[in-house]
Structure 1
């Protein structure tokens, strides 16, 4: 058992190596999964979701394996709101992950459900905290057919017409967020993924063929409803 991240979360040895991670509730759950040969596991250790977990769900494909009780239900809601967890798996009703056999663990993981499905069912949108500059840019750009590019420090590093965005985006380095008065297309999503851009925020989203894990797609309507950084 290892300690991981600034919060010293209980984890297995493969968290950094694995492209997929399994998030469980507590230390005893980690120990049970390790005993059964699952090494890419990490614990939340509390009802408040640690920053390390939020970061991991952005960087890796994450599955949460939660207890089949009310505690698991509450953690599920919190995870769906504040993280990018991709799948949800549950222990059988009334059982805890720490008590599951290897067959029950595998069975639960095989029956995992996409988090998006549960969000839709619960009518939940992920809580996304965006800097005020980005929210202001979204308001300012409406009706302009222009795009504003921000770096990781939320400094504006470019302002260009939307008609040139797909081409010009390839030339910029260090872009983290793109806000524009237009439509998010598959071409833009592919470019954003290649350039490691985290957010595309636009007036609307076309029918995206495939959305990569590392790019968040938001509309102006989405961000008018989200929490903000102070």
Structure 2
């Protein structure tokens, strides 16, 4: 019998017969019908006796009076001889009393299969069985810092909310989104942090912020961070708002970016209209007003400010009344001095351009959209015919077919929106502010909500 270790190729073939046949019939037909066909050098019986052809494996299945199956013949011959032997099998046209057909499907190179197994096994050995490389000095330091940060992390309340070790005693705290943000700030020595774990702010955190003098919300620079700020402003006491750069998360920031973001924090009063709707509970407003008054009390008094004024500034301030007096005397000497002064008093500042009364009727729409990031389409009768999100405004405008005369939205009027409005025959665009617009079509009036 053929030794499997010497097998080079395996001939795969299919057989089909118009009748019921079994394995011995097929093996007998292979030996009988190929005998003397290829000469003594390639006689199957002699090749099997010398071990150059292995045991012929046959698997057949009879169904509906017909038989189908597969034939496997191991070979240790070379490629040419194996190909000739495989071609000779296709000359068999009868098996027992039935007509049959044998077709070679493919010849498998056993050595190639073994090579593939060797490669896959070598990959596994290389990845899983070698000892890991010793870390470099920087990696060792980072690993130690990481373990220290995890050990430093504390937990607040019955729900075990992750926080920094100094958040309990510090008068100023930073509220972040998740546990990874707390770890990243601990990495750079910022330990007065506590997380909210997503948009559902825990009541414990909301109550905890009311016990602190200064609370800064520090969130990711994405839509999720904006939603968390909106909720924090409504349920917690927030004094300042800091945001990571657009598209970045707090957990991914390096020290320079963290410091820059915290330095650029803004008082919540400056952006309250963006994050708070008109129906916000009055209790939150009252708590915010109390903290504003506390911060004003902590500001230096005018006397303390005067101590910090330089001597040169004091001299300039002393000369200022005399300079003003000389200007007043010179105006009094002029015959029409008082008239000119009165004219200047009644002159309308150039920066305040009066708004047409017909445009003031859109003020209610603009007020309703503040902080919603939404847009309204109005027809010729100022009726709302459609609403959409600002992020979808361009695509909605392009596809909208009905009459639209005015678009009011809580966003920036851009050149792209302005061009689309001109193409659609829209008469007015009213946004939160006007962006970089270089070309204004005469057919479209551009207004802002603040100017109504």
Category of TM-score, reference length = shorter chain: 0.5 to 0.7
Contact 1:21 1:62 in 2 (8 A): yes
1:55-77: CA deviations, max 9, x gaps?
Answer: 12211111010000111011111
CA distance in structure 1 between the aligned counterparts of 2:237 and 2:248, rounded to whole angstroms: 25
Divergent runs of 4+, >4 A: none
Q: Which of 212, 222, 229 lines up with 2:294 in the alignment?
A: 212
Consecutive unaligned residues of structure 2, counting only runs of 5 or more, are: 1-152, 296-452
Q: CA deviation at 1:94?
A: 0.1
Report 1:178-197 matches (<5 A): none
Whether 1:110 and 2:248 are equivalent positions in the alignment is no
Match for residue 37 of structure 1?
189
Which residue pairs with 1:55 in the alignment?
207
1:129 Cα offset (Å)? 5.9
Matching residue within 22, 25, 30 for 2:177 = 25
Root mean square deviation, CA, Å: 2.4
Q: Is the contact between residue 164 and residue 182 of structure 2 (CA under 8 Å) also seen in structure 1?
A: yes
Partner Cα separation in structure 2 for residue 123 and residue 6 of structure 1: 30
1:10 is aligned, of 152, 162, 166, to 162
SS at match of 2:271: helix
- Considering fraction of residues, name the structure with more helix: 2
* Cross-structure match for 1:77: 230
CA distance in 2, matches of 1:77, 1:123: 7
TM-score scaled to structure 1, two decimals? Answer: 0.55
Q: Deviations over 1:191-225 (max 9, x none)?
A: xxxxxxxx79xxxx9xx9x6127xxxxxxxxxxxx
Q: 1:93 is paired with a residue of what secondary structure?
A: coil
TM-score (norm: length of structure 2)? 0.29
Shift of 1:49: 1.0
Aligned residue for 1:127?
281
1:79 touches 1:85 (CA, 8 Å); kept in 2? Answer: yes
For residues 77-134 of structure 1, what are the alpha-carbon distances to aligned partners after superposition, in whole Å with 9 as ceiling and x for unaligned? 111111111101000000000000111011000000111222134453543569xxxx
Q: Greater relative contact order: 1 or 2 (C-alpha under 8 angstroms, separation 6 or more)?
A: 1
User: Residues 122 and 85 of structure 1: is their aligned pair in 2 closer, same or farther, counting only changes over 3 Å?
Assistant: closer
